[in-house]
Amino acid sequence: MHLAAADHPHRGGGGRAALGLGLGHLAAAALRREHRRRALAGGAVLASALLLVATPRLRHSPALHLFADMRNLLGVPNTLNVLTAYPLLLAGVPGLVLCLCGSGCFGISLRWEALGWFLFYAGNVAAAFGSAYYHLKPDDDRLIWDRVLDDMRLWVVLNSAPCIAIPAMLFLFPPKYTHSRFWFLATGFYLLARFEGLADRKVYSVNRYFISGHSLEHLCFAMVTLILTVMLSFRNVKIVRDS
């Protein structure tokens, strides 16, 4: 009896020690994850800066304004390139509205996360109008960004970085939300869009001049937005991981 009674404080102290050790391991793991995140972000910024410094200036060529499909249908210049810009608007506006509704719709729990998604959907809406405006009369005067900088290296970096960063983050860090596989699907459509844009004339000839690669590029970009909206609608916080 005395021995058993004497053992209780010892076991209680051991339990507290084990709990403290477990919490210490969790804190150390969280710190390591934070260090990896910072290292990844710093490495991406450094690689982008080195690419911009080490490569020659990539000037905008007037030939880039010559798209495969320049048909004038229904009195609208470059009709399909103009019209296919608006699915970005159709995909962006509902997402923007739902994003503004807050956690009730998308389960957005962090203020910076909400701001990021708001900027994403606002960018889609702006891109729809900007692309349609440009394709009505493609020239340097309607490319404000390139006209100011006269250098497309930053454009290349900004367009290629997500294709590398998003899969890398998915592999390196455990997801906070469910349905993270949608990121891979969205990245696939993004890469497909870029391929179709680069193969504008080839795609146009393959489908017997029905729709050009650049018009399909617009539609694939809209699919990226739609896929991410579906992901946000279905996802839940992964409680198991946080606990």
DSSP letters of 132-198?
A: HHHHHS-SGGG-HHHHHH---HHHHHHHHHHHHHHHHHHHHS--SBS-THHHHHHHHHHHHHHHHHH
Residue 237: strand pairing partners: 177
pLDDT tens, residue by residue, 98-146? 887 765 567 776 778 888 898 999 999 999 999 999 999 998 788 765 5
Amino acid code (one letter) for 219: L
Contact between residue 214 and residue 200 where contact means Cβ atoms under 8 Å apart: yes
Contact between residue 208 and residue 188 where contact means Cβ atoms under 8 Å apart: no
Contact between residue 58 and residue 151 where contact means Cβ atoms under 8 Å apart: yes
Amino acid code (one letter) for 234: F
User: Can you read off the two tokens belonging to residue 183?
Assistant: 């990121």
pLDDT tens, residue by residue, 159-213? 777 777 777 777 777 788 888 889 989 989 999 999 999 999 999 999 999 999 9
pLDDT tens, residue by residue, 139-162? 878 876 555 767 777 777 777 777
Contact between residue 70 and residue 79 where contact means Cβ atoms under 8 Å apart: no
Amino acid code (one letter) for 210: F
Distances (CA, A) of 106 to 44, 98, 111, 130: 28, 7, 13, 27
pLDDT tens, residue by residue, 10-69? 555 556 665 556 556 666 666 676 677 777 777 777 877 787 778 787 777 778 889 999
Distances (CA, A) of 10 to 2, 21, 139, 239: 13, 16, 80, 33
3-state helix, strand, coil in the chain (%, to 5): 75, 0, 20
DSSP letters of 71-104?
A: --BTTBTTHHHHHTTTHHHHHHHHHHHHHHTTHH
Residue ranges per structural domain of the chain: 18-54, 60-234
